[in-house]
Structure 1
Amino acid sequence: MGVLHGVYVFGSVARGDRDLRSDLDLLAVVADGHGKVEEQQVYAHVPSELSELEPSISWYGARRLGEMFANGELFGWHLYQEAVPLFERRPIIAMLGKPSPYEDAVADVASFEKVLSRIPDQLDASPENSFYELGLVYVCLRNICMAASSKLCDRPDFSRYSPFRLTGIPPVPLSHDEYDLAMSCRMAGQRGFAPPAPFGPSLVGNIYARLAPWIAEIREKLESK
């Protein structure tokens, strides 16, 4: 049977920038090799003032967390900067200390850049999927900028608006309204939020055309570092 060693909150609630789009990001640390516990065991440690938020649990064993910190993985840095304990048998995150330097920024940016590069062909083949493709723009852009922020900013920026907070490069060629539209598409598809007003593939194509050279500039900047 699984054993729960700790429950932590991270994400917008832990950062203090919670808004109407926020869910409750939870880290559940379980015994190595024994799998998950009942979700209600995790929820029992959530304070009442957060109970109305939709929970999203990430399950990890202490051994895997240790590997993540030792390897300098970006999610390890995410937890190091933000994780707030709700329950712990021992201070697992604190005991892991500071993660090793994150060295995969270029590879991670290139990976998401490749995913984005398929959007024009996908739109040509299935223009009715514009909603999905714009949601994908949000996912890729946010992950690219979280990775890039580790090298371009004082510290990694895991907020939803990390694309607008990068330093050392021109501003993202996207308005806040366009970014919020892309975010709304993703959250409507993944979390059941109300979908935005209909739009066509030309909007998505235009946004991609502006973003592609900007993202290439980010990658080249990281490569030069």
Structure 2
Amino acid sequence: MHIYAFGSVCRGEIDLGSDIDMLAIISEQSNNINPSDYSIYSYERIKELWEQGNPFAWHLHLESKLVFSKEGSNYLQDLGCPNKYTNGDADCKKFYEIFHSACNSLQESSLSQVFDLSTIFLAIRNFSTCYSLAKLEYPDFSRHSSLNLDEFSISIQDQQYRILEAARILSTRGVGPNLTDVQISIAINSIPEIDLWMKSLINIKRS
């Protein structure tokens, strides 16, 4: 068994919206590992992700710290560098579709507005992470990856971005005050600009 910390705690970016991401790599099912506390993977699956050049493999390669090793080894380090990530365009389009689906849900009903805004923030973040890994020199796996793409960063108003972020934290961790109708309206008004931004980046090719 190998246990790793990864994500914001390894970047030193802890705030009220952060959690501590933990990975458990196991060879067989264990009742001692709580799925609510750990991302649980088999050794075979981790190796597959490395071979695929999957973004999660790159995330672990660049931003994880060994916490426990039953065998005294560092499994992820021993795997070396993951293969090149080649699925960037397809993954960006997938997250654009998730964004588009959440926008449609907002138009159809007001019953899940905070959840839909949370999904939009998730789509923006993952879209940006995949874009940075595929197109830019330095990948960004942080919650604010969409703000860290240099000239390709998202350009919505800071207030709009913070409301979307608050919706994500509220939906996933139950932290923070409920969003007001005014805040929800402000966030919804950012959708056309987000749509244009995502579509423009999908069409940008590395020079």
| TM-score, with length taken from structure 1 | 0.83
Opposite residue 163 of structure 1, the aligned amino acid is S
CA displacement at 1:95 relative to structure 2? 0.8
CA RMSD of aligned residues (A): 2.0
Q: Distance in 1 between matches of 2:82 and 2:9?
A: 22
Aligned 8 A contact 2:4 2:66 in 1: yes
| TM-score, with length taken from structure 2 | 0.90
Q: Distance in 2 between matches of 1:60 and 1:132?
A: 28
Q: Percent sequence identity over matched residues?
A: 26
CA displacement at 1:168 relative to structure 2? 4.6
The corresponding residue for 1:49 is none
Q: After superposing the two structures, state which structure 1 stretch, 75-84 or 86-95, moved more.
A: 86-95
Aligned 8 A contact 1:153 1:167 in 2: no
Q: Confirm whether residue 11 of structure 1 aligns to residue 11 of structure 2.
A: no
Aligned length: 204
Q: Distance in 2 between matches of 1:107 and 1:20?
A: 33
The answer for unaligned runs of 5 or more in structure 1 is 43-54
The corresponding residue for 1:21 is 17
Per-residue CA distance 1:29-52 (angstroms, 9 max, x = gap): 101xx2234137x9xxxxxxxxxx
Q: After superposing the two structures, state which structure 1 stretch, 15-24 or 106-115, moved more.
A: 15-24
Q: After superposing the two structures, state which structure 1 stretch, 61-70 or 72-81, moved more.
A: 61-70
Q: Confirm whether residue 143 of structure 1 aligns to residue 126 of structure 2.
A: yes
Aligned 8 A contact 2:2 2:25 in 1: yes
Secondary structure of the 1:26 match is strand
2:191 paired residue among 199, 208, 211: 208
The answer for unaligned runs of 5 or more in structure 2 is none
2:138 paired residue among 146, 149, 155: 155
Q: Confirm whether residue 199 of structure 1 aligns to residue 195 of structure 2.
A: no
The corresponding residue for 1:76 is 57
CA displacement at 1:180 relative to structure 2? 2.2
Per-residue CA distance 1:1-34 (angstroms, 9 max, x = gap): xxxx111000110111111211110010101xx2
CA displacement at 1:177 relative to structure 2? 2.9
1:183 paired residue among 134, 158, 165: 165
Q: Distance in 1 between matches of 2:150 and 2:176?
A: 33
2:105 paired residue among 101, 122, 129: 122
